[in-house]
Amino acid sequence: MPKRVGVLALQGDFREHIETLNEIEGVEARLAKTQESIEACDALVIPGGESTTIGKLMKRFGLDEPVREMAEAGKPIFGTCAGMIVLAREIVGSEQWRLGLMDITVERNAFGRQVDSFEVDLPVKGIEEPVRAIFIRAPYVREAREECGVEVLATFEDRIVLCRQGNLLASAFHPELTDDRRLQRYFLEMIGN
């Protein structure tokens, strides 16, 4: 039976996530934009986009509770870029709505504006060769509460850009925009563990 991965499809680059996940054998990636579609998934991706918009739409359509229940049930959730912000417990200088599931403090647009976007080969704990990382108006984790079980998996210029807390994974960059699927496979291995 394939692993069913939902990609939150409210705003942002959800299509790119679905396409890249469906390239991996044994995965069935699908749009997740209702409570029922979220509940039917083994794992969920919260994509990049506008974190304030994603948060407002999650709240408006009542998707925050199903996602929280999914996290409590131990199902993996992967937040990329804006998804990292939505997962965070705290956001520097902002009271915007978020799920608050991960014990991290994030800073939005920490690497500059859209014109400051860049790519880099990033060493990642648990993955042999560096991963190609694309940063677009990216956040970073200013504080990862290791005493709460947050594990730092990658840094760039001494800033935390990839971390994990149990069944939650958050990246400041966009793995769906490269040809490298190792980070997606790392996430998929979290299903059932």
Taking CB atoms within 8 Å and a gap of at least 24, the contacts of 114-123 are 120/156, 122/154, 122/156, 122/161, 122/162, 122/173, 123/154
Annotated active-site residue 176? The verdict is yes
Catalytic residue among 17, 41, 163, 174: 174
Catalytic residue among 81, 143, 147, 151: 81
| Alpha-carbon 19 to chain mean position | 16
Annotated active-site residue 81? The verdict is yes
3-class SS string, 95-133 = CCCCCCCEEEEEECCCCCCHHHCEEEEEEECCEEEEEEE
167, 158 contact by CB (below 8 A): no
45, 24 contact by CB (below 8 A): no
How far apart CA 82 and CA 71 sit, in angstroms, is 18
Annotated active-site residue 90? The verdict is no
DSSP 27-85: EEEEEE-SHHHHHT-SEEEE-SS-HHHHHHHHHHTT-HHHHHHHHHTT--EEEETHHHH
**Would you name the residues annotated as active-site residues?**
81, 174, 176
